[in-house]
Structure 1
């Protein structure tokens, strides 16, 4: 039995954040389809709270708000079931309704199916109507029920998307705060370790020297994690401010920043770009993107016990920019290729330094530029990260 409790309905409506929001194209499409299938003059997706009915998607009439007392859908909502009325002017439930009498409309044929959330709460209806008397076949009634269910699916997707955005924002705020708080003492610690190791013979195998080297490695791993947190936090609150810039200098700066990692891994990075090619982008964000992709390729290839070989290719075509980063590492299994872009998702690489934010950050940057990112097999034997960005 659907839940018609007012408090539960108000809470569900608030969760969907649809009232007062810009028009939702998917809901409008469902209303249009309902009108067509039912051969009606108009259709509406109505959300009904304790005081008002909000027509959040309509076809055949303008979206609007009316009081609950004036609403035809509010009359049938307590039953939370599909209904249709051949002629509302002779139906005792609607004969005096302003949408029937001519005060607000002259509805005759009316049919509706309830919008029932997954928790069983009735929050409104998908209705069709016409100024002429009419009826529905059993198939049309079933179709209206099905479309009402699809409308709830659209609302559920809105809710889940908002929750994800909110959790991402909360994580970004937390990441920024904790990375800032940890960066200064960690930098001081790494400096003290470097001083202690300065001048130590490479062949010194004393326990103290061994402990210092382990501490240095641990501090370096923590620095990688903090860097990932800080990058994710910064990108989380950033907007892409586009300008036309040469790609070459951006790549040169990224390669320079990775010089220490390249030396540590005995790696080789090959870059194939036209340094004068101009790209419309946010230079700072694209630099973070390229640094993430190259750093990921280096450390994952190194984790496979090989000297990393990484190739960066960027070229502009008729459909926009195609940027690829290939490596000779272990690759990414096909079932994991979507999942590794999620927050804190590390796939099957638990032994590789980091928090699993690099690809999540990269996806945020690419999406902020209206692009796409994905993973394929690389000719080098590892993974290929492919980024597609619009030209303008």
Structure 2
């Protein structure tokens, strides 16, 4: 009868996707190390489900599968800590086991340490054994426990890497759908703007015509941004294009797109960014637009009239960019946390999902740079970005 514990273990093992595959080199290296440290001929990584013991890496024998009833490790793998048996023939747990009696093997010395997942689920062992009677000293026993933890770390790293890949694939699919959904109304908007701009009435309304031209330019920028961000998402979000781009032009476009927000909040923005930088123009625009919008939003929410300063300077091997505001600031103990997805510090009364700063961090790190927060000379927050030249 399969128990709830067996089912939980089966699901945990399935998540690691290690059973039924050729031994991986990293796991193979760990069993070789176990044999060397313990001074034995044979070492095995065993994964134990409700029916079988699967040897997923081994030295001293060819990895195989046996029934759980025949497994020595299945007797002890759910017990905490390592097990050391000098002579299995005189241990009542193992004396009748086919690996000891000669039916399958002639094991005498046996030692194992359990493989425990981060959720506390035992899934198997790292075990060492020999056909000669033996023992482990204290340091060898500790080393076997350390290797057990390392094996689980390797399995976890693989699992998380796979999950991240699946997540990036889902992100690309989501971005493609959003891109499709946004393009249709955007194309309609551009068409209406073009019709309005070409109408005879615009000849007698120069200010309206000017506004429509700005709207048309904003729609074109949005279309470019949608296409570029979709390409970025499809690449896994880790390989931004790099070219020499005019930072002043990027900041200018970001400020232009925020025009309505700046006007509504009475904001002033000072821009002093006279440098070409190496990076992806669309992503850097998203970065700076997020930082400026963030500064405006939180400063205005504090009751102040926002004053923002965006500046750049040359540093050895790259550029230093700052976005300063006169807002309420961010407490030191929250400055790392606000870059997490869905985090917004203590200002929960301000609208938003807390995605912007997480996006900023990803963009900067994708460029090989760094982003951080410190006190601003304007009295509020300074976001700083360091972008490398290559």
* Pair in the same fold by TM > 0.5: yes
1:326 and 1:39 map into 2 onto residues whose CA distance is 62
- Identify the residue that residue 237 of structure 1 maps to in structure 2: 234
- Identify the residue that residue 76 of structure 2 maps to in structure 1: 79
Quickly say closer, same or farther: Cα 1:79–1:88, change in 2 above 3 A: closer
- Identify the residue that residue 310 of structure 1 maps to in structure 2: 309
Q: CA deviation at 1:390?
A: 4.5
1:234 and 1:286 map into 2 onto residues whose CA distance is 15
- Identify the residue that residue 344 of structure 1 maps to in structure 2: 342
Quickly say closer, same or farther: Cα 1:388–1:185, change in 2 above 3 A: same
Aligned partner (choices 63, 68, 91) of residue 66 of structure 1: 63
- Identify the residue that residue 54 of structure 1 maps to in structure 2: 56
- Identify the residue that residue 359 of structure 1 maps to in structure 2: 357
Q: CA deviation at 1:165?
A: 6.6
- Identify the residue that residue 382 of structure 1 maps to in structure 2: 380
- The alignment partner of 1:361 has SS state of helix
Deviation string, structure 1 residues 339-386 (Cα, Å, up to 9, x no partner): 222222222233434332111222222343344433333333322333
Instruction: Tell me which of the two structures has the higher relative contact order, counting C-alpha pairs closer than 8 angstroms and 6 or more residues apart.
Output: 1
- Identify the residue that residue 249 of structure 2 maps to in structure 1: 252
- Identify the residue that residue 272 of structure 2 maps to in structure 1: 271
**8 Å CA contact retained: 1:235, 1:361:** no
TM-score, with length taken from structure 2: 0.64
Quickly say closer, same or farther: Cα 1:122–1:371, change in 2 above 3 A: same
Quickly say closer, same or farther: Cα 1:297–1:77, change in 2 above 3 A: same
- The alignment partner of 1:148 has SS state of helix
2:284 and 2:22 map into 1 onto residues whose CA distance is 32
- Identify the residue that residue 141 of structure 1 maps to in structure 2: 141
**8 Å CA contact retained: 2:312, 2:319:** no
1:337 and 1:97 map into 2 onto residues whose CA distance is 64
- RMSD of aligned C-alpha atoms? 4.9
Quickly say closer, same or farther: Cα 1:375–1:301, change in 2 above 3 A: same
- Identify the residue that residue 115 of structure 1 maps to in structure 2: 115
1:343 and 1:89 map into 2 onto residues whose CA distance is 57
Quickly say closer, same or farther: Cα 1:169–1:244, change in 2 above 3 A: closer
- Identify the residue that residue 125 of structure 2 maps to in structure 1: 125
Deviation string, structure 1 residues 88-141 (Cα, Å, up to 9, x no partner): 89977435789977xxxxx97542111133555332222346797641134543
**8 Å CA contact retained: 2:23, 2:56:** no
Deviation string, structure 1 residues 269-300 (Cα, Å, up to 9, x no partner): 3334533x5x2x44433332233223323333
Larger mean Cα displacement after TM superposition, 351-360 or 161-170: 161-170
Q: CA deviation at 1:169?
A: 6.1
TM-score, with length taken from structure 1: 0.64
- The alignment partner of 1:355 has SS state of coil
- In our comparison, the structure showing a higher alpha carbon Rg is 2
2:290 and 2:324 map into 1 onto residues whose CA distance is 13
Deviation string, structure 1 residues 213-243 (Cα, Å, up to 9, x no partner): xxxxxxxxxxxxxxx9999877543445555
1:288 and 1:330 map into 2 onto residues whose CA distance is 23
1:188 and 1:343 map into 2 onto residues whose CA distance is 33
Q: CA deviation at 1:252?
A: 0.7
**8 Å CA contact retained: 2:248, 2:275:** no
Contiguous gaps of at least 5 residues in structure 2: 197-224
- Identify the residue that residue 367 of structure 2 maps to in structure 1: 369
2:23 and 2:388 map into 1 onto residues whose CA distance is 26
Deviation string, structure 1 residues 296-353 (Cα, Å, up to 9, x no partner): 23333333313322223253524x5544433332222223223222222222233434
**8 Å CA contact retained: 1:88, 1:100:** no
Quickly say closer, same or farther: Cα 1:354–1:14, change in 2 above 3 A: same
**8 Å CA contact retained: 1:176, 1:234:** no
Matched ranges for 1:282-321 at <5 A: 282-304=280-302, 305-318=304-317, 321=319
- The alignment partner of 1:52 has SS state of strand
**8 Å CA contact retained: 1:113, 1:126:** yes
Asked whether 1:11 is paired with 2:29, we answer no
